[in-house]
Structure formats: structure tokens, C-alpha cells
Amino acid sequence: MIRYPNGKTFQPNKTVSSQNSQKRTHSYSNRGMTLEDDLNETNKYYLANQIAVIHKKPTPVQIVNVHYPKRSAAVIKEAYFKQSSTTDYNGIYKGRYIDFEAKETKNKTAFPLQNFHDHQIEHMKQVVRQDGICFVIISAFGKVYFLEADKLFVFWERKENNGRKSIRKDELEDASFPISLGYSPRIDYISIIEQLYFSQEQ
């Protein structure tokens, strides 16, 4: 069975529940939501509160065949998933360009680098060269981590030089910042950006 790049099979018309008003626990284990759902809710919160404008890019699709029925909407009858040449999320916070990718793993001991492909790493390097704020959000080991692109590149180079093909749990803990999880916003990654790039103490 062919799957999405994130390993999930396709589920049509998934609706994000906004009914749940209970305080959420601070663990990512055994929850019904995906990282993507939570990031979408987080970005909606940032947008509604004029904190930041960050959107997930649409899934790239190669369209091959479209029907144009009379008096109703065009129907795409044949199309294929394409590999993206960029990361999934980008936007703006306080004038600065923000660019990131989000990844999940169920692996208990390490984060596999095969979650990224060459094009994404190359894109992140281009963004860093243009002085963008570039990072990855990793959901692993029941937590959510903010890993700056420069740190990711070090692990990527090790892999390219025939080293480990993953980031060990303790390495990730050392290299990254934990993102606090809450109800609203759910994954407050902007607070990390504020501390790292905008705080007077830096």
C-alpha cells in the first residue's frame, strides 16, 4: 500500500474537532489528534490573535485528467501525489520569515532521519542563507521538540558521511528546545522563536 510521505494512508474529509473544551494533558501519547491537527489549530490561534501569519502549504498534486461537467464543479479524475520541493509550513512573525517542517515518530529510542528528503534539507539551507528563521518541530518520545535547522544539518551531515541514520533521544534532548503543550495555543512554538530571536537578553 502506498502511503503519504508521513506514512499515513489517506483519509478523506477529516474534520478537526473544536468541541473538546477539556484541559489537555501534556503528553503526546494515546491522543486522538495528530501533530498536523495541533499545528493547524495553533496557526489558527496565531492568525486570529494577530500574533503570526503561518500556513501549511497545500499537498502538491500532479493533475493529469479533469472533467468539466455542465452546471457543476470541475472534477479531477486522475492525479498523483508529488514530492514537495520545500517544507510544509511558512509565514511571517514580526517581519521575519518563518519556515519549518513537522515530523512525528513512534520510534522509542531515536528519530529516524529518513523522515526528511534531500530537497527539504536543501530548501532549509537556502532559507538559512537568506537569514530566515528555519527549524523542525519533532513529535517523539511523548514530547514535542523545537530543533533549529543548523542543528539538524549537523545530524544530516553525519548521516551523509556514513554515520548514524537517526538522532538518538539524548542527542535530540540536548540539541533542541522543548515546546510547552497547552490548550490554546496547543503547540506554542512562537514563544520559542520569541526567546531565541527577539529577546533582549540574546
Binding site for its own copies (CB under 8 A): 1-3, 9-10, 12-13, 47, 50, 52-53, 55, 57-66, 68-69, 72-82, 84-86, 90-99, 123, 126-127, 129-132
| 131 known ligand binder | no
- Compute the distance between CA of residue 18 and CA of residue 180 in angstroms, rounded to an integer: 20
In the complex, least distance from residue 41 CB atom to its own copies, rounded to whole angstroms: 15
Cell of 18: 473544536
Question: 78 or 170: whose CB is closer to its own copies?
Answer: 78
Annotated binding-site residue? 37: no
Secondary structure of 132-200 as H, E, C letters: CEEEEEEEECCEEEEEEHHHHHHHHHHHHCCCCCEEEHHHHHHHCEECCECCCCCECHHHHHHHHHHCC
- To the question of whether residue 86 is assigned a binding role by annotation, the answer is yes
Q: Report in angstroms how near the CB of residue 144 gets to its own copies at its nearest.
A: 24
* Min dist. Cβ of residue 28 to its own copies (A): 26
Q: Decide whether 26 or 57 has the Cβ nearer to its own copies.
A: 57
Q: Is 148 annotated as a binding residue?
A: no
List the beta bridge partners of residue 181: 187
- CA 41 to CA 90: how far, in whole Å? 15
